[in-house]
Each structure stands twice: as C-alpha cells, then as structure tokens.
Structure 1
C-alpha cells in the first residue's frame, strides 16, 4: 500500500472546495481540487473545475490539463429533465436532483487545444507525448514521428521512444523501430514498468534475422514476465515462431491453458506442431477445443435465464470459431504458414500536470 492509499480524499476534497469558494480565481487550487475529485470518481465536477480554471487563466498548465481530460475521459453531456434548462451552468445543475450526465468522446476538443499550445513550442515533453498518441490514434504516423522527436529532444521517456518505434514499425522501418524500442526499455519507472518495448524489440530483431540477439531478448522476457506475473508467454513465443524455432515455440505454447486463449492463437501452434510431424497433438487439441466450445454453446442455448438474442449470437459466434479451427488445420496440412500480425502497444502514463500520485511536475500558471 502506498502513502496515497492512506489519504482520505473525500476529506481533502471538502477542504479544497472550501478554499476554492474563498479564492475562486485561484486556478492552482482548482487544478488540485480536480485531481482529488478524480480520485473520488467525481469526474463531472473535476471536469467543471478544469474547464473553469482554463477560462479564468488560459495557460499551458490549465489548457493542457483540460485537453488531457478531454482525450482520456471525454466530456460530460447534460441530460436535462423537464424541470431543468440545458443552458444552466454546471454549478447550478449540480443542485438539481433530476440532473444526469452521459459521456462522449472529445478527441477533437483535445486535439485543437494541444495543437494550439504546440505553436508556442512548450518546453515540457508531456504535451508532445500526448499529441503523438493523438496522431497514432488517427494512423498519422509521419506527423506522430515529427512531434515525438521533439518530445524526445526535451526528455526521452519510455513512452515517447516506444511510440516513435511503433510509428517506424508501422512504416516498415524495422532498424529504426528496433533502436527506439531498445532505448525505451531501460527507461522503466514506477509510473510505467511495461515490458512491451522489450517485447517489440525482440520481435524486430527476429524479423531482421538477428537470431542470437532475439533469443537473448526472449529469454530475458520470459524471466521478467514470470517475475512480474505479466503472463506474456504467448507473445514472447512469437519471437521464436518468426525465427522458425518451432520446438521452442511449442515448448512455450504447450504450457498454455487453452480454456483461456482465443482460437486465433491456434493456427501458429498447429503449424509448428506440423513442422515437427506432431499431427496427433494437432488432432487431439482441435478435438478437445471443439468439444469444449460445443458444450458451452449447448449450455447457453438451454439456459432459460438467457435472452434469445444472446443465445442466437452466441451460437453463431461459436459455429464460426469451430469452422475457423477446422479450416486452420486444412491450411496447415497444405503447408501454409500462418502469419503473425504483431502490433506494438502504444505506451502511455498519467500526463496530468500536478498529479501528486504520479509526482508529475507542474509548470507555471502564467497566461499564454
């Protein structure tokens, strides 16, 4: 348990609300209150505080935090009843017992704010990291590369280096991607201990034909995954599959509990078994998996408490899954190697300025 888990955030929230009432133009207090409100899951009120702070004093800090909230949480939409007016302010609406909110995505609002902030070349990497994520979400990898490079120039981090590597990977620039992933991994911190940059590095090495290096990375990943209880074994095994080391691939896959894995993982396993002339294992696993799926489908169909629409959908999906397994075996027996479509993970962390839980810095509050 961290020291923050021992904090009575509701008590702190009440104290900050009193201070804000006494000093309503203090945007630093409003920012602190918003962060505490998020800790108590009062996101509508947190949004109001960030929005108000940005209106009172538009600055890198206030505008950026509002943009970050838009991107990660969306925006609350007021659902007014017949007793309320849609034009009321957030503070007035909070007093209406019949008022409720729905949430919707607000990526455009976030993008517009951050794009405008970047025109002034801010000197902190959070803003560049966030814009990089926004571009990646839109599959605009060239734009993401440019902005992430600026963030890295200010402060290299696991997130911006990994995400730059992701962009290079998507553009087929494997040597550049490998270098970024390699640099990202040592920058693990208490805020982000992800093993995905190292995994992506191993995948790149394998695809580049750097077998001995890729194997060393895979061994390290297996050790770290077990130690950190990350359960990345199936992904790590892909390094061996790409290298054509089917024996080691099978060694890892044979230990998986297939009750918890999608049938999408089976073709590569079937092919590896076929490469080693282990067709009996293919037939046994396929038979066992299909029987399990048929049993589960029957139980759902016969359950009187389940909705008919759900039963029909479940049956349709299960039939498709079984057909997928049977077809995978046919393709493997023809000697067709399944292609593993690896996709690097986007790395992120809390980028909220002033977040005390993540010890984030807080730039000044001067207007821009």
Structure 2
C-alpha cells in the first residue's frame, strides 16, 4: 500500500468515525483531486453545506467542481457563499470564470481583478479581455500598459500581443509577437495573427521570412515524429495522429500569405482558467488548522 492509498483509507475511516465538516470536506477533496471522481465529492460536500459550515473550504471546493463541470449557475451560487465568509483569489477568479460563461462580462471583469495577484497575471489578462468584449477599449489599453514582462506572474508575450491585435493596435501587437517568437511553440492558432500583423504593418518581407522559418521547423517536427519509436504510452495511432496534425499545420502555413491577401483575418482565442488549491483541513504542508480551531 502506497502513501496515497494510506491517506485515502485514513480519510475514509475518519468519515466512518464522524461525518462532520472536517472529515467530509477532506474526503471530498481526495475523491475530486486524487480519484477524479467529482460526483462522490459533490455528494459529500452537499452534505457538508447542510451543516452550515463557517469555513470557506467546502464552498470553494464545491464551486471549483462546478466550474470544472461547466455548471456555471451552481458555481456562482456556491462561490458567493464562500466569498461571504472569506474572500480569496481562487474563489474570485473562479466566480469570474462562471460569470464570463454566463455572459455577465461586467461582473466577470470585476471579479477577475479581485482574483488577480498582479497586473500581469492571467486573471488580469482575463479582466482585459472582458473590457475588450465590452468595447471599453480605452480602459483595456490602460490595463495592458501596466503589464510587466519581468513580473513573476507574467501571462506571456503572445497573450499580450493577441489582446493588442484584438484592439487593432497592430504596431504594439507586432512588438509583443516578436518577443514570443523564439520562445513559443509555433502553431497557426497564434502565428496567423503575427503574420497578419506584419502584413498589415507593411512588413511583407519579414512575414515571408517568418513563415519560412515556421515551415522549416514544422518539416523538422514531422521528420522527428516519423522516427518516433512506439510503446504502450505512444502507440502507432498516436504517432499517426500527431503526424497528421503537423502536416495540416504545415499546409496552413503554405497558404497563409495568399489567404491573408484574399481577405482572411485571423481570430484570436481567449479561454478562461480555473484556479485550484488545497482545501484540506489540518494540512501540515500548508499549515491549515483543523476545522473550528
């Protein structure tokens, strides 16, 4: 029996001895995060909430589960109750995610800011995207100007570039795309926007050079993938699918300039991000106290 199995048995035994806020929440966390069983975790946490707990742990954990399952209305209701007890970065971010997917961008923007650690992290960028979608472009640009690439929580150069792209500030977008060109894995999902930006900025020669580089890298990837040895974790089917994906991306690069010249405008893609954390009462690693102490 490994340490994980021992821990799970200990949590199960604690619930058998006493079905209380502490034991049920801890077992729910184990089922969700270690067993990937959100259904049992939800059942345990619903039982906890009927006890009217005075800790945000069970509310935040259940809210996290609902966000992960795209159950947005349940997530909002649950996370608001946790925030009423203690406002945390994680709960505010996850509440913002739920509001975003419910189409309430004003509240999403408000809670993304409350869920951010710095002006340069993903929650702050999510706030900026809400402003862009609300057509509050002046506010969005002011927020973007505060982004610091030296920040430990920096969201990333391409992510910043795509926000400027969406604002049609192609001069600034080009600068940020260039910062990410050497470091990011090249895929059409963002390279298309960079090449479009270069063409829009009358940098067609540079656009051709960068496409050529991208194609050379993709050719090398295909060759490497063809040499891959297969095993139980990387089957022939996996290998074939990967080669098909790489080949499709190469073909996209080969026609990209022509498509842009014919009126193709790449679209940017923003996705929200769930924040998780430990909600184990008595966790020695995070120095959490036991429930009620």
Match of 1:271 among 173, 176, 196: 196
TM-score (norm 1): 0.71
* Counterpart check, 1:203 vs 2:129: yes
TM superposition shift of 1:219: 2.7
Equivalent position of 2:21 in the other structure:
60
TM superposition shift of 1:135: 1.0
The separation in 2 between residues aligned to 1:157 and 1:231, in whole angstroms, is 20
1:166–1:344 contact (8 Å) kept in structure 2: yes
* Counterpart check, 1:344 vs 2:272: yes
The separation in 1 between residues aligned to 2:133 and 2:243, in whole angstroms, is 39
1:297–1:315 contact (8 Å) kept in structure 2: yes
The separation in 2 between residues aligned to 1:353 and 1:197, in whole angstroms, is 27
The separation in 2 between residues aligned to 1:239 and 1:281, in whole angstroms, is 22
Equivalent position of 2:145 in the other structure:
219
SS in 1 for 2:289: coil
Equivalent position of 1:362 in the other structure:
290
TM superposition shift of 1:209: 2.7
The separation in 2 between residues aligned to 1:48 and 1:67, in whole angstroms, is 13
TM superposition shift of 1:258: 4.3
The separation in 1 between residues aligned to 2:156 and 2:168, in whole angstroms, is 19
* Counterpart check, 1:306 vs 2:229: yes
TM superposition shift of 1:124: 1.1
Change in Cα spacing, 1:299 to 1:68, as seen in structure 2 (3 Å) is closer
TM superposition shift of 1:327: 4.5
The separation in 2 between residues aligned to 1:311 and 1:134, in whole angstroms, is 33
Q: Over aligned residue pairs, what C-alpha RMSD do you find?
A: 2.5
Q: Could you tell me which runs of 5 or more consecutive residues in structure 1 were left unpaired when the two chains were aligned.
A: 1-36, 75-104
Equivalent position of 2:73 in the other structure:
142
TM superposition shift of 1:150: 1.0
The separation in 2 between residues aligned to 1:150 and 1:314, in whole angstroms, is 45
Equivalent position of 1:242 in the other structure:
166
Task: Show CA shifts across 1:313-357 (max 9, x none).
Answer: 443222111123234444322323222221121112211111132
TM superposition shift of 1:178: 0.7
1:61–1:363 contact (8 Å) kept in structure 2: yes
Question: Considering only CA atoms, is the larger Rg found in Structure 1 or Structure 2?
Answer: 1
Change in Cα spacing, 1:57 to 1:316, as seen in structure 2 (3 Å) is same
SS in 2 for 1:277: coil
Task: Show CA shifts across 1:36-72 (max 9, x none).
Answer: x9xxx72111111111111111110011100001111
Task: Show CA shifts across 1:208-243 (max 9, x none).
Answer: 23333322322322x1x4231746121122221221
The separation in 1 between residues aligned to 2:155 and 2:90, in whole angstroms, is 21
Task: Show CA shifts across 1:167-208 (max 9, x none).
Answer: 11112221111111122225x7xxxx9922211112222222
Change in Cα spacing, 1:71 to 1:194, as seen in structure 2 (3 Å) is farther
2:60–2:82 contact (8 Å) kept in structure 1: yes
1:209–1:243 contact (8 Å) kept in structure 2: no
1:267–1:329 contact (8 Å) kept in structure 2: no
Matched residues, number: 287
Equivalent position of 2:46 in the other structure:
115
Equivalent position of 1:333 in the other structure:
261
2:79–2:95 contact (8 Å) kept in structure 1: yes
